[in-house]
Amino acid sequence: MISARVKIAVAVFLFVSFSAAVSWAQMPSNMDADSAAIKQCVAAWEDAWNRHDAHATATRYVEDGDFSSTTGIPSHGWKELEEHYNAIFTTFLKDAHRTDGVKSIRFLTPEIASVDIDWQMTGAKTRDGQDVPIRKGLLTWIVTKHNGEWMITIYHESAF
């Protein structure tokens, strides 16, 4: 005769094991869905950038997001980020257009990923007003998932 407690314990154990198995099986398909969602997040950011909408570009970051420029100058949090984008969109990147292509994604956890993005830019000027035919390099982002949405937590860029 098996006591009620043992039955309950077995039921709980079975439920937990089953849930674990289901979530394990779901992981690869979630990663595919998340990879697609991350690519969409990159495309949405690129679109905001190409509209030169500083507010929309900044709010693709988490509220305390970190940006670091090609020369290592940081901006932290929405306010500084928006100021940074406003400054560049009204000066040397006023006529600039960018193209971003996701090169690779590495998941650190199901909700944190490192993303490498090839970038190219036309229409940029140097700080003293000279035309730059083409700028290119690599963006490296840490993105995190918040309420189902992937956002930029840390942004680094390099030009070469």
Partner 1 sequence: MPPIGWIPVWASPDLKFTASGCAMISIPSKAAFAVLLFLTFSAASSRAQMASNRDADTAAIKQSVAAFADSWNTHDGHAVAMHYLEDGDFTSIKGEVSHGRKELEDHYTTVFGTFLKNAHTTDTVKSIRFLGPDTASVDIDWLVTEPNAPGGVLRKGLVTWIVTKRNGQWMIMIYHESAF
Q: What residues contact 150, with CB distance under 8 A and at least 6 apart?
A: 34, 37, 38, 40, 41, 113, 143, 144
Give whichever of 48 and 144 is closer to partner 1, judged by the CB atom: 144
* Per-residue interface string for the shown chain with partner 1, residues 100-139, x marking contact by CB under 8 A: ---xx-x-xx--x-x-x-x------------------xx-
Q: How far is the CB of 114 from partner 1 (least distance, A)?
A: 5
C-beta separation of 103 from 117 below 8 A: yes
68 binds partner 1 (CB under 8 A): yes
Q: How far is the CB of 156 from partner 1 (least distance, A)?
A: 5
C-alpha distances (whole Å) from 119 to each of 31, 75, 89, 110, 146 are 24, 20, 17, 26, 25
| Contact positions vs partner 1 (CB under 8 A) | 66, 68, 70-72, 74, 103-104, 106, 108-109, 112, 114, 116, 118, 137-138, 140, 142, 144, 153-154, 156-160
